[in-house]
Structure 1
Amino acid sequence: MNLLELPSPLWVLGTDTGVGKTHVSARIARAWAQAGPVVYRKPFQTGVVDEEDAEADAPIVRAPGITTETGILLRAPLSPLAAAEMEGKILDLEAMAQWVGRPVPPGTRLLLEPAGGIMVPVGPHHTFLAWATDLGIPAVVVGRGGLGTLNHILLTCEALMARSWTIPAVFLNPGVDDAFEAAQENAALLRRFLPMPVEVLT
């Protein structure tokens, strides 16, 4: 798939924590940067242990032509809601929606990455999915390559499609579980069940 054809703005969503959303974000952002400036925004960053770690995932994405922006910083490596409650904070989801949707300069592409999977709680009564649906931003879905990915990707895509999300592509990231051969098989099966392109990252 030509990553330059992906729409902007765009979420990079994962089936779970640790499936490689940030590495996929970096690939997309750097491909986009070949054609013009890119802004990468992460609204919720958990697991920030000290000031040196304040940007956490941003250095993985940062490259010439890419500006990185991080929203709410939380110490505990938990869901945004749980981490905020540990610190006695209340997440202002309306303000964060406005932060996510801030205009970028003309000709600039916008890439967005959340924390964790789509059902991660971000407020007392809101999962990420419930909060982000009203923003109306398309999303690619990232999953691991091997065992379990069929279930996780199909569940994630079904939940998104039930809320009328646009999903331009699904990416299997076999590098996170060393499942390169299985990823090809899984991608072939997923193409029989999903209406969007399914690609294996190499």
Structure 2
Amino acid sequence: MKRKGIFVTATDTGAGKTYASLVLGHLLKDKKIDVGYMKPVQCSGDDASKITNALDLKDDFNLINPYYFEEPLSPNTAAKRAGRKIDPQKIIKAYQKLSAQHEMMIVEGAGGLLVPLCKDYLIADLIKDLELEVIIVSRLGLGTINHTLLSINQAKSLGINVKGVLFCNTSKNKGGIPEQTNPSVIKDYSGVDILGQVPFLDKVDQQAIVDKCSNAININKIFNLSDKAITNKLVEMDKRYVW
């Protein structure tokens, strides 16, 4: 399976994966890149539909969100209580269909790496089966160093390539010394790249996101866009000139 996107995981639930996924999607669209989005499993809420609408995606929603459960629980528990079973192959096939229709994919996980989807199958296993690199979305505040380093080390031990850490500020609080120093500490102790910070936004429309986030997030590194930018430039030149 050819890698053509990123898997968005996090230190835990509520760290800002959905917020980050939305921002990344809009930044890709601003670069005229055809982006697809997938939320394999959602337990309660309507995050998947909100992002689908915000990014104006026309894909079959059953591919975007193959499994939905009413209760806000871990996927395996929510499925069991609903009398259902999550089939990883269904998710993989849905991803393959979506990936074939888009230049780049954003796949948003549930919780963190070790969240179980079904018996003997974790989010980490899905990431490996999809053959995607991950970014780890993390909080900025006190306590994030331990959570983030644990997630990074776990990913590495499982053979999952960590593209880097993306911090997410989901409140207006500007923070203090922990918020200012945690990113550099995590970089020093993990060796992974810090990909930027998603700032708190009063508005989450595309223009607001582009204005506030373009210089705050290393979108080119996350999606390996440097080579793609050169290719796109050559394509545009081909359209204008006859060689």
Same fold (TM over 0.5): yes
The question of whether the paired residues in 2 share the 8 Å contact of 1:8 and 1:111 is answered with no
- In structure 2, the partner of 1:52 is none
TM-score of the pair, normalised by structure 1: 0.84
In the alignment, does 2:113 pair up with 1:118?
yes
Question: Matched residue pairs, number?
Answer: 190
Q: Which has the higher helix share?
A: 2
Q: Specify which of 129, 137, 140 is matched with residue 142 of structure 1.
A: 137
Task: Indicate the larger mover: 77-86 or 95-104.
Answer: 95-104
Matched, 1:58 2:53: no
From the superposition, tell whether residues 73 and 107 of structure 1 become closer, same or farther in structure 2 (CA, over 3 Å).
Answer: closer
1:123, distance to aligned residue in structure 2 (A) = 0.5
Q: Are the equivalent residues in 2 in contact too, given 1:29–1:61 (CA < 8 A)?
A: no
Compute the displacement of 1:102 (Å).
2.5
In the TM superposition, what is the alpha-carbon distance from 1:127 to its structure 2 partner?
Answer: 1.7
What's the offset of the Cα at 1:171? Answer: 1.1
Q: Deviations over 1:2-23 (max 9, x none)?
A: xxxxx83111111100011001
The verdict on how the C-alpha distance between 1:62 and 1:122 changes in structure 2, with shifts beyond 3 A counting, is same
Q: CA RMSD in A?
A: 2.2
* Partner-residue secondary structure (3-state), 2:40: strand
Tell me how far apart the structure 1 counterparts of residues 9 and 38 of structure 2 sit (CA, whole Å). Answer: 13
1:131 aligns with 2:126: yes
Structure 1 residues 138 and 157: alpha-carbon distance in aligned structure 2, compared to 1, 3 A threshold: same
Aligned equivalents of 1:105 and 1:164: distance in 2? 25
**1:20 equivalenced with 2:11 (yes/no):** no
Matched, 1:36 2:33: yes
Change (3 A) 1:111 1:103: same
Mark the CA change 1:56 to 1:191 in structure 2 (over 3 Å): closer, same or farther.
closer
Change (3 A) 1:153 1:67: farther
What is the TM-score with the length of structure 2 in the denominator? 0.71
Preserved contact between residue 66 and residue 90 of structure 2 (Cα < 8 Å)? no
Distance 1:153 1:61 in 2: 28
- Sort the Cα spacing of 1:67 and 1:178 in 2 relative to 1 into closer, same or farther, 3 A: farther
Greater Cα offset, 83-92 or 132-141: 132-141
Which residue of 1 is the match for residue 197 of structure 2? 200
Structure 1: segments with no counterpart, 5+ residues: 1-6, 49-54
Of residues 88, 92, 112 in structure 1, which corresponds to 2:83? Answer: 88
Residue type of the alignment partner of 2:37: Y
**Aligned residue in 2 for 1:188:** 184
For residues 126 and 179 of structure 1, what CA distance do their matches in structure 2 show?
38
**Alignment-mate amino acid for residue 149 of structure 1:** T
Q: CA deviation at 1:71?
A: 1.4
State which structure, 1 or 2, has the greater radius of gyration over its C-alpha atoms.
Answer: 2
Cα pair 1:33 1:65 within 8 Å, conserved: no
| Percent of matched pairs sharing the same residue | 24
Write the deviation string for residues 20-59 of structure 1: whole angstroms up to 9, x where unpaired. Answer: 10010011110111222211000001115xxxxxx43331
Residue 66 of structure 1: how far off its partner (Å): 4.3
Aligned to 2:241: none
Residues of 2 paired with 1:25 and 1:173: CA distance?
Answer: 11
